[in-house]
Structure 1
Amino acid sequence: MDVQEAVFLALDLTGTFVFAVSGVLLAARRGFDITGGLVLGLMTGIGGGMIRDVLLDRVPNALGQPIYLAPPLIATLLIYLIGKHVSRARIWIVTFDAIGLAIFSVTGTTIALGAEANYPAALLMGALTACGGGLMRDAVASEDPAIFIGTDLYLIPALFGAGLTILAEVTGLLGGVVSLVIAAAAFGFRMLAWKLQWRVPQPMRQWSYRETGRRMKKLPSVFRKPD
């Protein structure tokens, strides 16, 4: 293993760990027991990567390299031991989630490029790696997934990190240091968006029809047979 591969592995394992921490913290916040914390930690840490690898027709890292199972286990034990000292779980969940999202947007895109995916596919795989685990975590824990909340930019920072990674690959600059810089930029984007509550356009009936001031009649069911 050369230096660049070692840096990439360390980065990917770090992303797995911090994402797992966000999952275990959410489990603790919801009052789940330690096994529930481990399940959420595993789901958050390796879920997005496993979906990516299945779509790319490659053996998932978590199955091919068992070391990927260690970070969620360590995160579960760590939060179990010190969790009671974390008085503001929400900010820590958001912070660790943002770190994982930023790192996985880089590593997921890099893995897709290494699997000879085209650039649009690599962009999607990077975003999927970054957002997939968090989406699964929130859905299982009955939280509103951050990716669906208009006041909480989530997918866009992931696409930002993935896009910069592709740009670095095209220009021949992609490497260990550049990957860290891109991850830091994506993390800063995500946290700034969360802090300032940047928003994307709301659903159509909120930013379009409602602004007309007219009373809109109730729309028919999507699944109703036409008259």
Structure 2
Amino acid sequence: MSEILDLVGIFVFALSGALMGVRKRLDVVGMAVIAEMTALGGGVVRDLILNVRPTAFQSSGYVLVPVLATAIVFFWHPHVARVMPAILVLDAAGLGLFCAVGTEKALDYGLSPLHAALLGVTTAIGGGMLRDVLAGEIPTLLYDRQLYAVPAMLGSAAMAALYTHDLHGWHATLAAAVLAFGLRIAAMRYNWRAPLARGVKSTE
């Protein structure tokens, strides 16, 4: 079940990467590369830091799912763009899932709650950062004007707190994931923004 959820999250992240490739007028190879990086980058970085073989290299599905997402966007990107609101909801679910699972895995490998939470955030937004860098955009983490990184931070912190109180398993993971998901959805619904430095006016 956890692998299925992982693949769903990877598929949604890959769609966003491939769509970025379309907006940047990349060819199909560029679209596939940016989709793979978006979908797998955070998890690969997490596993390398934990000094374990990346999960993405243990199953062909982790590599093939982004290829499928790229093919869908390549042929039907206008239709995919039209259902972007639904994709953003799934993206928020993937964000919540990945930050919780990433934090829990880091804790299982002996990291402190603080470092595990940081690694959980890396799992959730690392691929998006790679996507933005490859596309020449300001990474979301550095310009969190749509509260994308903040929900991941709070979800990871919640997962670490639950874990330190001996609350493990799917129920704790689900609770942390739902928290991050809910905050991300609320930010999109109510147009919440992270504050700029004092005296700096927003251009939005």
Match of 1:16 in 2: 10
Match of 2:63 in 1: 69
Match of 2:173 in 1: 179
Distance 1:32 1:8, change over 3 A: same
Query: Of 123, 129, 142, which aligns to 2:123?
Result: 129
Query: Of 32, 35, 52, which aligns to 1:38?
Result: 32
Moved more, 16-25 or 175-184: 175-184
Task: Tell me by how many angstroms 1:45 deviates.
Answer: 0.7
Gaps of 5+ in 2: none
Task: Tell me by how many angstroms 1:187 deviates.
Answer: 1.5
Task: Tell me by how many angstroms 1:177 deviates.
Answer: 4.1
Q: Which runs of 4+ in 1 moved over 6 A?
A: none
Distance 1:191 1:96, change over 3 A: same
Alignment of 1:125-164 (within 5 A): 125-164=119-158
User: Is 2:162 aligned against 1:168?
Assistant: yes
What SS class does the counterpart of residue 62 from structure 1 fall into? Answer: helix
Distance 1:92 1:79, change over 3 A: farther
User: Is 2:82 aligned against 1:88?
Assistant: yes
Aligned AA for 1:54?
A: L
Task: Tell me by how many angstroms 1:61 deviates.
Answer: 1.3
Q: Partners of 1:27 and 1:20 in 2: how far apart? A: 10
Aligned AA for 1:58?
A: V
Match of 1:106 in 2: 100
Moved more, 17-26 or 65-74: 65-74
Moved more, 80-89 or 128-137: 80-89
Distance 1:176 1:81, change over 3 A: farther
Distance 1:59 1:33, change over 3 A: same
Aligned AA for 1:9?
A: E
Task: Please report the RMSD computed on the Cα atoms of aligned residues, expressed in angstroms.
Answer: 2.3
Moved more, 36-45 or 54-63: 54-63
Distance 1:89 1:39, change over 3 A: farther
Q: Partners of 1:87 and 1:117 in 2: how far apart? A: 40
Task: Tell me by how many angstroms 1:84 deviates.
Answer: 2.8
Distance 1:88 1:30, change over 3 A: farther
Note if contact 1:18-1:99 (Cα within 8 Å) is conserved in structure 2. no
Gaps of 5+ in 1: 1-6, 208-227
Larger Rg: 1
Q: Partners of 1:74 and 1:44 in 2: how far apart? A: 14
Note if contact 1:20-1:44 (Cα within 8 Å) is conserved in structure 2. yes
Question: Structure 2 length normalisation: TM-score?
Answer: 0.86
Q: Between Structure 1 and Structure 2, how many residues are aligned?
A: 201
Task: Tell me by how many angstroms 1:143 deviates.
Answer: 2.4
Aligned AA for 2:25?
A: G
What SS class does the counterpart of residue 131 from structure 1 fall into? Answer: helix
Task: Tell me by how many angstroms 1:96 deviates.
Answer: 4.4
User: For 1:110-132, what per-residue CA distance to the aligned partner results, in whole angstroms no more than 9, with x for missing partners?
Assistant: 21112111111100100111111
